[in-house]
Amino acid sequence: MARLLTALGVLLTLHMASSNKLVCHMTNWAQYRPSVAKFTADNIDPFLCTHVIYALATINSFNQLSPIEWNDEQQYQRLSSLKSVNPVLKTLLSVGGTVNGVSPFIAMVAKPESRAVFIKSAISFLRTHNFDGLNLAWEYPGHNGSPQEDKERFTLLVTELSVAFEEDARENRKTPLLLSANVASFRPTIDRAYEVNKISPYLDFMNVMTYDFHGHWEPATGHNSPLYPSSADSGSHSHHNINSSVSHWLSLGAPAEKLLLGFPTYGRTYHLSSAATGLGAPANGPAEAGPYTRTAGFWAFYEICDFTSSATVEWISEQEVPYATYGSSWVGYDDKRSYSSKVQWMTAHNLGGAHVWTLDMDDFGGSFCSAGPYPLVNHLRMSMGFPPKPTTTPGPTTTRDPMVDFCRGRPDGLYENLADKTTYFQCFQGNTYLHRCQPGLIYWDSCKCCNWP
């Protein structure tokens, strides 16, 4: 009976967790940023997110899922090793981007045979590299291919992937691979790209890319990711906000619990072309590139922290987001306060959770914003009501804590805690994590698991 109750407890916990996802993207190009901005899978806090999505993989000319960077396979392995620290962490591989300016999905989805090759290669690749799922990042079906056909072919791809994932799970007695997609937030793009009713049942979750609503391609300042319209918006611009975009997804029949709201850890910049500095001020292009992201048009949150120390910061109350301006530079970005507003909106609409673009643009090392590591994502996690992370954070201590020292010099793995058998240590990269077994169970080193005394 007690065993059954424990099993039920596990199921309930899993069920609750599934309605509260915090999905975080990392990018394999962030490793090329200089000095403290260099980011690899080793910079991920294993307890921060429920899912980590590794961006990006591509589709080769034989229609197979394939890596992009020289060290992707090394990084997959580092990412997967985080799961020995946090056994409930899920990892997915994102596939998309462009090859010579064109999405590699367009050719692959065109024929049943090439879809079958892709699907087979994806399952084998994901299993080989210990991923828990696949994230489709086609921006967007119907964009520069053939609109109506690509929309239908995307549906076929999603359906066939889902069926194949089920088959693979049955045949190999494994948990089915997860299937998710990054999806558009502009109403006309949504209408052109997706058969919402047909794809929703087959996707575990959809990452609505609720950012890039405004940017330096426009002649006046506007916010990257506003919650609501501004009274200055006219015409289609009144739909360039989260409320309008996600409402559209819901009205098309997307189940709320499968929609994840996008939280950007970056802001979009403008170069002001007059003395005006407010929302809607004339602009002609982006501000200077950030010293670390080195791409004109956006700044990472850690670059914005440096900027706001001397800039004027304003809150756009209609849109519940901040902007900052100094000299002729203007940036619309997100901070803890706007994240809180968005979490409230997300909760009020019963969405399945949040996704973050990206981990590597938050102040992941804590060296810029004086707010500890991952200030934005940690705030998001807390605002969403996740329990405190089950970690023993190692750090400088004056009186040495024997527990913090436990893993120094030990190989990664699980160890018994002789002082308290209801807990056990997990060593990861020299850091010590203390875990507690479920009530009634104790840790057994023989199975490296919690079991009955």
Ligand X SMILES: *[C@@H]1O[C@H](CO)[C@@H](O)[C@H](O)[C@H]1NC(C)=O
Residues classed as catalytic: 139
Torsions phi, psi for 174 (to 5 deg) = -125, 165
Strand partners, 183: 208
* Part in contact with ligand X (CB under 6 A); list of ranges 39-47, 48-56, 68-76, 241-249: 241-249
CB atoms closer than 10 angstroms to residue 210:
27
Task: Enumerate residues 6+ apart whose C-beta is below 8 A from 358.
Answer: 24, 25, 26, 27, 30, 55, 265, 266
Residue 244 C-beta: closest distance to ligand X, Å: 6
Q: Name which of residues 199 to 228 contact ligand X (CB under 6 A).
A: 228
Q: Does 229 bind ligand X (CB under 6 A)?
A: yes
| Tokens representing residue 276 in the block | 């005006």
Q: Dump the DSSP string for 68-105.
A: -STTHHHHHHHHHHGGGTSTT-EEEEEEE--BTTB-TH
Q: Does 138 bind ligand X (CB under 6 A)?
A: no
Identify the helix (H) or strand (E) that includes residue 178: strand 178-183
Q: Does 247 bind ligand X (CB under 6 A)?
A: yes
Q: Dump the DSSP string for 9-43.
A: HHHHHHHHHHTSEEEEEEETTGGGS-GGG---GGG
CB 265 within 8 A of CB 334: yes
* Part in contact with ligand X (CB under 6 A); list of ranges 240-248, 269-277, 390-398, 428-436: 240-248
Among 243, 341, 347, 422, binds ligand X (CB under 6 A): 243
Residue 248 C-beta: closest distance to ligand X, Å: 7
Of the pair 61, 236, the CB lying nearest ligand X is at 236
Identify the helix (H) or strand (E) that includes residue 126: helix 112-128
Of the pair 39, 249, the CB lying nearest ligand X is at 249
Residue 259 C-beta: closest distance to ligand X, Å: 14
Of the pair 255, 365, the CB lying nearest ligand X is at 255
> For residue 90, which of 175, 27, 202 has the smallest C-alpha distance?
175
Residue 250 C-beta: closest distance to ligand X, Å: 8
Of the pair 58, 243, the CB lying nearest ligand X is at 243
**Binding residues for ligand X, total number by CB under 6 A:** 5
Of the pair 251, 399, the CB lying nearest ligand X is at 251
Q: Name which of residues 49 to 88 contact ligand X (CB under 6 A).
A: none
CB 136 within 8 A of CB 119: no
Task: Give residue 316's Cα distance to chain centre.
Answer: 26
Task: Give residue 269's Cα distance to chain centre.
Answer: 22
Angle value at C-alpha 398, between 394 and 399, nearest 5 degrees: 90
Task: Give residue 282's Cα distance to chain centre.
Answer: 33
Residue 164 C-beta: closest distance to ligand X, Å: 37
Task: Give residue 21's Cα distance to chain centre.
Answer: 10
Instruction: Give the type of residue at 4.
Output: L
| Tokens representing residue 172 in the block | 């190999």
* Part in contact with ligand X (CB under 6 A); list of ranges 243-251, 268-276, 296-304, 436-444: 243-251
Of the pair 212, 320, the CB lying nearest ligand X is at 320
Residue 222 C-beta: closest distance to ligand X, Å: 16
Of the pair 211, 368, the CB lying nearest ligand X is at 211
> For residue 276, which of 210, 341, 220, 351 has the smallest C-alpha distance?
220
Sites of contact with ligand X (CB under 6 A): 228-229, 243-244, 247
